[in-house]
Structure 1
Amino acid sequence: MVALFMDTALPLPLLKEVSSYADFSLTVRPFLGQLAALSANIVAACSTDAPLVSLAQVYLTTNPLVSAFALSLAFSVFFLLLSEATRNHSQVDRAWSMLPPIYVAHYALWARGNGIPAPKVDNALVVAGVWGARLTFNFWRKGGYSSGGEDYRWEIIRGWWNAPTMFVFNVFFIALAQNVLLFLITTPVYLLLLVSRENPTMELPDIIFSRVLMGLILVETFADQQQWNFQQAKKQYNATAKVPLKYSREDLDRGFVVSGLWAWSRHPNFAAEQAIWLVFYQWACYATQTFFNWTVAGALGYLMLFQASTRFTEQLSAQKYPEYAEYQRLVGKFIPTFLGRGSEGKEEKRE
């Protein structure tokens, strides 16, 4: 039986064992009541003579996980209203790369505001910030839906259902589930914050976790850049009929990239993306000296979302490109297989 002591100064648990910080019943459940009172506290703070000071006090005396979850619900309502007003269901997609860094920055800000040294959280913020900046750059250089249209996948899905069904899907999945998921994948940082009160130093394993995360971001960057280079070369080839350097006519006529990291995995960028949040979860497991904890919900949800999204994307690619089915047979979806490697594997099979 682990004893729970409520800190009179901070809305955080004080536990005798480090592993207990991974216990949902001890580190989350006691603070859930603050969620119901939060909106009333914010309204009351705004009506005082010094609303900014009062709001800061509400912020610092609310458990950071509770306030992060409340923020995700607020984002859900905002994106629901925005998507219905614009008839564009890609609003969450636009903010995808910004929301996790916001949640991690919140944990770092809350820790600093309460005088808690938390270098683990600060390192997590650097990683999340680099991840978000990279995705944001990649999104906007592709156009960022500058035309005002939806992502093509949402357009297809909207064509399947009538308006009321699409509205329900928008409420519970596009707006709510996706925003809550982006909150959940950052919950391991909450455990890093809790443990920082016991051990605020960055030990060698913490450094390794943060460097592995940066390495995965680098892999994702290389994969996206290779995809971008190929698509730009294909665009030039289709416009001028001239084959750009480093590519062959066969590659460009095929229509999809099969070289570089894409020779080993059909979605190396997605593989690295999922691995990033799995490593965040593993970092929290190490920090709390547990093999399993409740923050796995975010990582598992992310894996499930990418599995479904990738399956849908591949169905569209197989319809569009005649050789895509062969590429699927020869190259692993996320984890590399060694039956063959993209176009090289097909050439070996022909021989």
Structure 2
Amino acid sequence: MTCFCPATLRSIFQAFPPSTPFQGTESPQIRVFFWSTALASFLLTFVKQRGRRNYSIVDRIWPLYPLCFLVQWQMQATRTSPQSVVIQSLVYLWGMRLCFNSLRRGDYRVGAEDYRWKHVQMWFSQIFGNGLTGSLAWEAFNLGFIAVFQLALLYLIALPVRLVILQSSEGQWDLLLVSLAVAMLLTLAGEALADQQQYAYQQHKRVHPDRIGFVHQGLWRFSRHPNVFCEGLFWVLVSIFCMRAGGVDAGVCENAWYWAGPLCLLVLLSSSVRLTESISLGKYPAYKAYVVKTSRILPMVPRDNREVIDIAHSYHFVH
């Protein structure tokens, strides 16, 4: 694997200068689309819904945003290869599945907001206070992370697909590409199954409120976040597939940009899991035992009860 050097960094800087990150790689329409949606997402958080501001604007467009780039790239394509059809179909399937799951959970209702944003705001208040400093810090976070970074991340995870859509010649199928396509389909099926199991459990819990407060059966028996595992794995496989089909050497540092999206997504998912679990640990006493018994993200056989008791005793149920 070629290591980073000044020439490599210079070539990446020239392709993606910080001031205009898509200059030289995208049409003006895509740059306008990105920055206008980022600004709109930021400004819409000031519009009160049901008497309060809402920071889940980006969450609502998350399933659809990468698909918008695919449409624009396809309009620029001079030909459509079988690999392009396959990878686009899988990404569209990802978006439709995620959008359906968000719809049935009520995420698109007026005033609906991810409950974790309230906890993030409380954390900001504890660090920066509730005065002018705290307000400025939060709005900087709102613009930089909630609006710009998340939309940039959605662009980056879709960016490798551009290689396949705009390739000038039809690539050849091999065993690796077929295996990657099948693996991506399986990860989508696994994520859909995990979401269905969680949704069914939450619906059943409303009828039987005496049940334990979190899903721990099915795929959730082997991982505390099987949907997160499948989500991260899917986009890693997308990058590998696209670089393989597009004839790009994944081991060359000049092509490291195509790894930026999935790697940043994995970091974001890991941080999201930590936040979610900190909330669950404070809300459900039994979640501490679940933490000890079940793997966090990577699916594994759960620990037996004796091992759980020994670990819980040694750590006093502190994760």
TM-score bracket for this pair, using the shorter chain length: 0.7 to 0.9
In 1, distance between residues paired with 2:14 and 2:90? Answer: 28
Structure 1 residues 77 and 223 mapped into 2: Cα distance closer, same or farther (>3 Å)?
Answer: same
* Contact 2:240/2:250 (<8 A) preserved: no
1:273 aligns with 2:231: yes
Counterpart CA distance in 2 for 1:347 and 1:108 is 56
Q: Distance in 2 between matches of 1:31 and 1:313?
A: 34
Q: Give the 5 Å matches for 1:151-230.
A: 151-159=114-122, 160-161=124-125, 162-194=134-166, 196-230=167-201
2:297 corresponds to 1:337: no
- TM-score normalized by structure 1? 0.72
Q: Which of the pair has the greater relative contact order for Cα pairs under 8 Å at 6+ separation?
A: 2
Give unpaired runs (5+ residues) of structure 2. 1-7, 126-133, 311-319
Matched, 1:137 2:100: yes
Cα gap change, 1:202/1:65 in structure 2, threshold over 3 Å: closer, same or farther? farther
* Structure 1 residue 296 corresponds to structure 2 residue 259: yes
Q: CA deviation at 1:210?
A: 2.3
Question: What is the distance in 1 between the residues matched to 2:204 and 2:194?
Answer: 15
* Corresponding position: 1:235 with 2:201: no
Q: CA deviation at 1:28?
A: 8.9
Offset of 1:66 from its aligned partner? 6.7
The count of aligned residue pairs is 285
Q: Could you tell me which runs of 5 or more consecutive residues in structure 1 were left unpaired when the two chains were aligned.
A: 1-22, 39-61, 239-251
Q: Determine the C-alpha separation between the residues in 2 that align with 1:94 and 1:65.
A: 25
| 8 Å CA contact 1:83, 1:91 repeated in 2 | yes
Q: TM-score, normalised by structure 2?
A: 0.79
The change in CA–CA distance for 1:65 and 1:295 in structure 2 (over 3 A counts) is farther
Which of 54, 66, 81 aligns to 2:43? It is 81
Give the drift of 1:184. 0.4
- Contact kept? 1:217, 1:276, Cα under 8 Å: yes
Aligned with 1:185: secondary structure?
A: helix
Indicate the residue corresponding to 2:82 in structure 1: 119
Q: Which residue type is aligned with residue 81 of structure 1?
A: L
Q: CA offsets per residue over residues 31-87 of structure 1, 9 Å max, x none?
A: 979x6998xxxxxxxxxxxxxxxxxxxxxxx85477545432221111111112332
Residues 122, 101 of structure 1: alpha-carbon distance in 2 compared, 3 angstrom cutoff: same
The residue aligned with 1:53 is none
Structure 1 counterpart of 2:219, one-letter code: L
- Percentage identity across paired residues of the two chains: 30
Distance 1:302 1:217 in 2: 16
User: Where do 1:43-54 residues align within 5 Å?
Assistant: none
Structure 1's 174 and 27: CA in aligned 2 closer, same or farther, altered over 3 A?
A: closer
Match of 1:104 in 2: 70
Paired residues of 2:289 and 2:308 also in contact (CA < 8 A): no
Q: Which residue of 2 aligns with 1:264?
A: 222
Q: How far apart are the structure 2 equivalents of 1:333 and 1:65? A: 41
- Residues in 2 aligned to 1:93 and 1:330: alpha-carbon distance in whole angstroms: 31
Q: Which has the larger radius of gyration?
A: 1
- Secondary structure in structure 1 of the residue aligned to 2:45: helix
Assess if the C-alpha contact under 8 Å between 1:68 and 1:183 holds in 2: no
Deviation at 1:208, TM superposition (A): 3.0
CA contact (8 A) 1:216 1:272 kept: yes
